Structure formats: structure tokens, C-alpha cells
Structure 1
């Protein structure tokens, strides 16, 4: 290989490495963005908390410890209209792709809160939720949540997020969004197919059960 060819190849490799690094999130920059916002809306921590634990009463999800690629994909979905939220969209619209990667890296690096959401539902409701989460309802073609979201429903990679310890109000709102086709950015419409078969009673039960579970492995 000629010297010129070596130089061209080296330049190409360097360029690819630069692009790859640019697409990686920087948690320190993400922390600044989370605290400051995009200049046009509220900072992320105003809704999701300084520790990324979210808020059940307001329906704001926990972000801390979720997969970075999953988080980035959801933020981009708000930007391009695949997901709709009157709260999220005005607060995420002005972030560019790199800033979204930085925010995702920041929240993914945060410790997963060990606390669970307290619930006042009955033992019967929690039992129904546990059955749906871990065994499913095969008579009605409803697989268990854990078949995709993994052991303990603590997430599998970048596609299936951790839902154990997630706030019940958020889980409930998202299941209803899948069911009404207001959200449809899942692979192969898996969540839509499941949510459409869930009754209101089942949605409330599985949301309550998952919210009552520890978000960390015991």
C-alpha cells in the first residue's frame, strides 16, 4: 500500500472515530443540561427530580439508571412526533441530537433509586398485578411483562426498559397510550398488541404491582 493510501486510510479511520465519539453521550454535559434546560423550558430536574427518581403524583417517570440508548430514543421520539406529550415536547424540542445523547448518558449513569412507590390498593389487586407481570394471562393472549422486560422486570438492553419500581401513574398512562394508539414507537407493535387486550382493571393492577417492586436487584 502506498504512503498516500496509508494516509487516506488513517484519515478515514480518524474521521469515523470522531463521528463515533461525537455520538457518545457525555454525562457531565448532560448534568449541566438537566439542571439548566434548553433555554426555552423548564430544566429536567424540575419534573424528574435531582436524583432522577421522578414523581408519581404528577406522572413523571423515573429516569435514573435506565439504558442510555433507550432514553435517547424516547427523547428523539418526542422531537419527531412519534411520542406526544404537552409537557415533554416544549421542554425537549430545542435539544440537538448530541445534547440528547448527553442527557441520556447522564441519567443512565445515575444510581437506580431503591425506593418503591407506596400504594393503597388491596392485596387482591396486587396479586392480579403480580400474575400479569410474572405469569401473564394466556387465556386472553397476554404474555407476562417479564417475558420482554426480563427477570424481575428490571429491563433488558436498549429495547425493553426497566419497569419494576417505575411509578404506577406513569405505567398506567403509557399502557393507556399504547391501547388508544396515542403511542406507537415500540418494535413490531408489541406493546400495542398487549395493551389492547388489557382491561382497565388489569392496567391498574399491573401498574400498582410494578410500582410496588424494588427497582434494584435484591
Structure 2
């Protein structure tokens, strides 16, 4: 039976606020914060922009600098602002932790993550270009969000509960333990989930379940995903697609960004939940 307040089911807005409060309360008990930890590398935003529009090394038969393979420009799928495309199951990269984005490229290049589009692109990038494109998208903090998905309220409640406390009976830990109290991630390794499209989050959980995605320490995500039901997957994905972190300006030196100089994570403002 789902839990409701006295007087009957609350409105969708009230329910989401309650769900966020539950997540924040669980995280506060855990004592974790979503502060950014230093990352021992620097990247250049303008060089990263060149990679995003498709200019990078290793893109021609002889390895000289040129234009990337057809369809290999990051912006053609992820957009210049990193907004992504929920309908095409393309993730939002804007404001994501640069160390996480860098590792994702390394995993695609090594085959730990399997994707017919991303693997050849990642393999064509140099080490420096991976770092540059990572800090470029990390610095794109102004990308708009899609409208939250229309979702059954009981499913949303279920996702909020899993995010906050998981399921002891099935050995599923709460998402907040690694992804932070407001879904903004715990830097440098754990990604932001707040505002990520439900279609992408679902696809990644299913990739973990099927063994198509590797690379996390001790295979924690794979173990958790394999203990989740289809309803669990849909619920958690819908919940995180429905909440928003507060946005912040990136603090950057002219033309250059250090990964630990990116904006800190903020708790969500309940009044702004569901807005772009």
C-alpha cells in the first residue's frame, strides 16, 4: 500500500516536494555532502569547444588533425550546451562532473562501456582532448531542462523511497549514498542524476543489468541494478527526471577551467521543482 498524508492523495507538486524532503533527510542522516573534490587535471574550455564541433586529432587516415568522422561531432547529439536529447536517449552532459565525463570517455575507448556511436569517437580522441571536452561540458551550466515526465504518483513515490533508503530486503542501497542528497552527485566520481532524462537513466540501469556497462569500482552499480525490478528501474528514473538542482555560474579564469573550480552542488528548491 502506498503511503499518503491524512485527507487523501496529495497533489503531484506536494508529492514531489515530500519525495525530495525524504531524500534530503536520508542524506543528512548519512552525513554526506555533495561537495566537489579536486581533480588532478586541467582542461581548456576553448579547446574543448573545438572537440565538441568535431575538430580533433586522429580523425583522418594518417592521424593528422582534421575533422572527426561523420556524425562524430559531440554537438550533433549532445548539443553545444550539453542539454542532450531525451527522445533519442542522449544524456544531458551540462554541468556534469568533469572527472566523471573524462572517465566515461576512457571507458568507451577501452570497451568497458558499449555503444556503437560513442566507442569510435572516444577511441579517436587524445588524452588531452578527452580532458578538454570534459571541462567544456562541465562548464555549460545554463542549459535548459526538459519538462518533467508525466508519471503515476505511486511510481514516483516508489522511486523517491528507493532513492532515499533503497531496499534492505533486496540488498539495494539508497541512491543518495553515492549520488548525493539532491541528486547532484558526489564529486569527483559519482555523477549527477537530477534532471537527467528518464529514458537515459532507464537505459543505463538496463545496461548494468545486462552486463553491457562496466567500469564502476567493485561492480557496485551492476550488483544494484541486477537486484532491481522493471518497476524499480522506471520509478528511480522517473524520480530523478522530476527533480532539479539549483543552477550556479561556473567560476572560471578567462579561457581556462580547472576541474575543481566548477560550481558546487546545491539542494533543490522545492518551489522550482518541475520548472525549466
Which category of TM-score, normalised to the shorter sequence, fits these structures? Answer: 0.7 to 0.9
1:9-20 to 2 correspondence within 5 Å? none
Residue segments in structure 1 that go unaligned for 5+ positions in a row = 1-22
List 4+ stretches of structure 1 deviating above 3 A: none
Structure-2 separation of matches of 1:24 and 1:53: 23
**Higher Rg:** 1
How far apart in 1 are the matches of 2:50 and 2:120?
Answer: 18
| Greater per-residue helix proportion | 1
The aligned counterpart of 2:224 is 194
The 10-residue stretch of structure 1 (84-93 or 105-114) with the greater mean CA deviation from structure 2: 105-114
Aligned positions of 1:35-46 closer than 5 A: 35-38=53-56, 39-42=68-71, 43-46=73-76
Q: Note closer, same or farther for the CA distance 1:51–1:198 as it changes in structure 2 (3 Å cut).
A: same
Which consecutive residues of structure 2, in runs of 5 or more, have no partner in the other structure?
Answer: 1-40, 57-67, 247-265, 270-276
Q: Which residue of 2 aligns with 1:120?
A: 150
Does structure 2 conserve the Cα–Cα contact (< 8 Å) formed by 1:116 and 1:213? no
Higher relative contact order (CA 8 A, sep 6+): 2
Contact 2:83 2:144 survives alignment (8 Å): no
Distance 2:186 2:82 in 1: 20
Partner residue in 2 for 1:49: 79
Q: How does 1:174-213 map to 2 (within 5 A)?
A: 174-213=204-243
The question of 1:158 aligning with 2:188 is answered: yes
Partner SS for 2:166: coil
Could you tell me which of 19, 34, 42 is aligned with 2:52? 34
Count of residues paired in the alignment: 197
1:17 is aligned to none
Q: Residue in 1 aligned with 2:177?
A: 147
When normalised by structure 2's length, the TM-score is: 0.68
